[in-house]
Copies of this chain bind each other. A is one copy, B any other.
């Protein structure tokens, strides 16, 4: 069972794109990207790597300080708390993946292709950011109070974006299946990827997305018809 070396080096991962409608820009009230923004983005990258490697609770702010080269207190100029760090990371991931999905689905109308598009978007996005993927799924129930509520709402939104696609497909093909089990099984498949994916062994994210889509769709298509 080979493990992805996802916590080894942050250079393996694309930087958080500061040119887009990022969380950081929102935080700064639509201010153009500044030195502050760039520094924060870098800190978030390091935080993602550290949280991925040691887990949120196991990772300390001193770990982050060492990894980023900024003093412990200096970090707090950029965000209010450790919890806020995790919130920023998770919020950005959810909003970005959903935005990308929205774009991809714009010109797609066939129900099956839309489901395939969902899977491909998810697999490609998260396998381009394996560390972030782990932080998103592994630290799923860490945040509390308002921050946790907001992330939970984004997660629910993402869940529904998938469930709705399956529902449309179910109706289109007259399938008789347990939607919930199907949707959750699909999420299990795609969210488990970070524990086993290995580019050298498993091929590109696109190939893998196709394979997973095939298994899943054929599985539900073989369900008894209404």
**Contacting pair B156 A184 (CB below 8 A):** no
With an 8 Å Cβ cutoff, the count of chain A residues facing the other chain is: 44
CA distance in complex: A181, B212 (Å): 7
CA distance in complex: A222, B219 (Å): 8
Residue of B180, B214, B215, B221 near A202 (CB, 8 A) is B180
Q: List residues of chain B with CB within 8 A of the CB of A159.
A: 1
**Contacting pair B181 A188 (CB below 8 A):** no
Is A196 on the interface with B (CB-CB < 8 A)? yes
Q: List residues of chain B with CB within 8 A of the CB of A202.
A: 180-181
**Contacting pair A185 B189 (CB below 8 A):** yes
The answer to whether A215 and B216 touch (CB under 8 A), given A181-B202, A188-B191, is yes
Q: A58-B142, A221-B222 are in contact. List 18 more A-B contacts (CB 8 A).
A: A1-B155, A3-B141, A57-B57, A138-B138, A177-B215, A178-B211, A181-B212, A182-B215, A187-B192, A187-B196, A188-B188, A189-B189, A218-B219, A218-B222, A219-B219, A219-B220, A219-B222, A222-B222
Q: Which 5 A-B pairs have the closest CB atoms?
A: A188-B192, A219-B219, A218-B222, A57-B57, A215-B219
Which residues in A have some Cβ–Cβ distance to B below 8 Å?
1, 3, 54-55, 57-58, 138, 140-142, 155-156, 159, 177-178, 180-182, 184-185, 187-193, 195-196, 201-202, 208, 211-212, 214-223
